[in-house]
Structure 1
Amino acid sequence: MRTVAEMIAELGHVATWSELQPHVTRRAVTAAMTRGEVERLSRDRYATPGLHAARREAERHHGVVSHLSAAVHHGFKVRTPPARPQVTVPRTHHVTRADEDCCEIRLRHLGPGDHAQGVTTPLRTVVDCARDLPFEEALCVADSALRSSLVTPDDLVSLARRARGPGARALRRVAQQADGGSSGPMETVLRVISLDRGLDLSTQLQIVDHGLFAVVDLGDPALRLAVEADSFAWHGDRRALDRDCRRYDELVVWGWTVLRFSWEQVMIDRDFVEWCFTHVLDGRDGISPPVPPRPGRRRRPL
């Protein structure tokens, strides 16, 4: 015979009393709570211990995990994890100041197909992030969702075209720029900065030129510009460093301009990255760029 905790786990780790009643008694549920096998989230709502904080908050408010919290649940990479659980609840739900101190709550209608087991679906998660979050954060989620294949480009573009109301324009912008070729938030943020400076860089660009073959993170073949997002993990040994140095030198010899950025530069010293994108082509015309900005100035995402 299954225990109360096992039944709740099979029901998605959260269950209402009406779901449990055909199988167990109130006394059994109370006993399971006493033993620490089950915890009560709110009136007649129970969960297995260790449930993610966002799931607990969503159940406590009779809502669902959404936005960045849902993105993390689905395994999507995000630019910045949410500081507080992000949940969506019905419009009729009364939200108190104490509730807002515990989590970020959005009042919104969700159809039956928009969520499953207390979490917004992958596609709905991308849509919510695109409508409500800054473009840069939303695009990180969308890129990761496409890369995971849990969301297809056709589904995202089709839904964006039909979208109406608040955030519809932002959603269409995200759908237009989303690219599963981006390997992570660092590359996505680099792409956003380049777009702001009038450069539309391709992801995972293959360069074949007179015997030269290379794949760069971002690039523009017409401008012969290659951009690399160099994380520390990729240079864990001398062999990796030697391989990349050789590749970058070959690109330069064959007339390519190569920009390499660290995680700190992309995510923190944004001014420097913007300065590079703005003035990288001026040198070809003999124009001297201004002095680069000093490091350490933190910028908020767009």
Structure 2
Amino acid sequence: MDPVVALRELGGVGTLQEVLGLTTRSQLAGALADGRLHKPRHNRYCLADLEGTMRAVARTGGTASHLSAAQEFGWKLKHDPLRPCVTLPRSARKPRGPYELHWADLSERELRRNVTSRTRTVIDCARTYDFDVALCVADSAMREGIIDRDDLLVAAARSPRTGRAKALRVAAEASHLRANPFETCLYVIAASVPGIDVVPQGHVPGVGFVDLLERRLGIVMEAESLEHHWTKAGLQRDVDRYTRAARLGLVVLRFTWTEVMFRPDDVRAAIEDVVRWRTVQAVGRHGLAA
């Protein structure tokens, strides 16, 4: 797989091990050499030119924020920002240039470090962007382990009224259990289907942990990446795993990154069809015990 495509599927940033799960060392070296990928620090590869972002911050006199701040922290995103995201003091004038601009009161620490705090970054994204984009940021922050859901809930409750409801929703649903933006976006699509309750990393006896589990109706949803499935051993592991799931009476829905990111309506329609069928069949009576 092309390294740029690989990094995009990984959420725009990845370790050497993650990248080599999808591409080769020679392809990675070529992408670094021609500037399509960047290595801002040890064992970190990304699509974004973070040095360019910080130069934009310096030119505006502002602070990296929103998706640009998330990139600076090394968080995985649904997509990179189209323009550098910069927050300026409320009294600052609008600078010229291709920036995504915001105005807010910033702490001395944020001004000194030229990047908004982790908690503010999550809440800013939650108040500004669509739910799936914002939840990818929040999930990445949770996986890092420095802030937790309580931090986000308190910050969301204290945030400005405009966008507060969006921030509270993101804070309430943020989870470290979803491994990457691929799984987060699949969760957002599935959670929008009426009549089901999906949980990330649900455990199925005899099968193991699955990306999403609807326990009552016995539906498993998997975000399938080539990272774990492109070898003969990986294929056999999949066959064994999903055969065990079928023997338990479970329906397994498998979705690719392209489907989830670019054809969400198709993914939602597929889930709705299976939910409708399983409900009619009353399979929930024979589902997994809670």
What is the one-letter code of the residue matched to 1:203? Answer: P
- Secondary structure, aligned partner of 1:202: strand
Instruction: Describe the SS at the equivalent of 2:277.
Output: helix
TM-score (norm. length: structure 2):
0.76
Q: Name the counterpart of 1:207.
A: 204
Give the conservation status (yes or no) of the 8 Å contact 2:63–2:88: yes
1:82 matched residue in structure 2: 81
TM-superposed CA distance for 1:136, in Å, is: 0.9
> Contact 1:115 / 1:121 at 8 angstroms: preserved in 2?
no
1:136 has 2:136 as partner? no
> Is the Cα contact below 8 Å between 1:219 and 1:226 reproduced in 2?
yes
Taking only aligned residues, the RMSD between alpha carbons, in angstroms, comes to: 1.8
Alignment-derived partner of residue 287 in structure 2: none
2:102 corresponds to: 106
SS of 1:119's partner is coil
CA drift at 1:111 = 2.4
Match of 2:37 in 1: none
State the distance in 1 between where 2:215 and 2:105 align: 45
In structure 2, the residue matched to 1:43 is: none
Q: CA deviation at 1:224?
A: 1.1
Deviations 1:17-54 (A, max 9, x none): xxxxxxxxxxxxxxxxxxxxxxxxxxxxxxxxx97122
Q: Which amino acid aligns with 1:150?
A: I
Residue 197 of structure 2 aligns with an amino acid whose one-letter code is D
Confirm whether residue 219 of structure 1 aligns to residue 218 of structure 2.
no
The one-letter code sitting in structure 2 at the alignment partner of 1:175 is: A
Equivalent AA in structure 2 for residue 187 of structure 1: E
Contact map agreement 1:67 1:129 (CA 8 A) in 2: yes
Distance in 2, Cα, partners of 1:177 & 1:286:
30
Distance apart, 1:164 and its partner CA: 3.4
Is contact 2:136-2:181 (8 Å) kept?
yes
The structure richer in helix per residue is: 2
Residue identity matched to 1:87: V
Provide closer, same or farther for how the CA distance between residues 139 and 51 of structure 1 changes in structure 2, counting only shifts above 3 A: closer
Counterpart of 2:212 in 1: which secondary structure? strand
Q: Which has the larger radius of gyration?
A: 1
Q: Provide the TM-score with structure 1 as the length reference.
A: 0.73
Per the TM alignment, residue 222 of structure 1 is displaced from its structure 2 partner at its CA by 1.6
Matches within 5 A, 1:115-130: 117-130=113-126
Instruction: Select the residue among 232, 241, 249 that pairs with 1:255.
Output: 249
* Correspondence 1:174 to 2:173: no
Aligned pairs (5 A) from 1:1-302: 52-96=51-95, 98-99=96-97, 102-114=98-110, 117-198=113-194, 199-208=196-205, 212-284=206-278, 285=280
Moved over 3 A (4+): 113-116
* Structure 1 alignment gaps of length 5 or more: 1-49, 288-302
Aligned length: 232
The Cα offsets for residues 110-161 of structure 1, whole Å up to 9 and x where unpaired, read as 1235565111111111111011111110000000100111221111112222
Matched residues in 1 for 2:108 and 2:233: separation? Answer: 52
CA shift, 1:236, in A, is: 2.4
Instruction: Please list the CA deviations of residues 209-236 of structure 1 after superposition, one character each: whole Å capped at 9, or x if unmatched.
Output: xxx2411011122221111000112112
CA 1:115–1:277 in structure 2 vs 1: closer, same or farther (change >3 Å)? farther
Code of the aligned partner of 2:86: V
In 1, Cα distance between the equivalents of 2:112 and 2:80? 22
**CA distance in structure 2 between the partners assigned to 1:190 and 1:156 by the alignment:** 22
Native 8 Å contact 1:135 1:174 kept in 2: yes
Which sections of structure 2, spanning at least 5 residues, go unmatched? Answer: 1-48, 283-290
Task: State the AA in 1 paired with 2:250.
Answer: W
Higher relative contact order (CA 8 A, sep 6+): 2
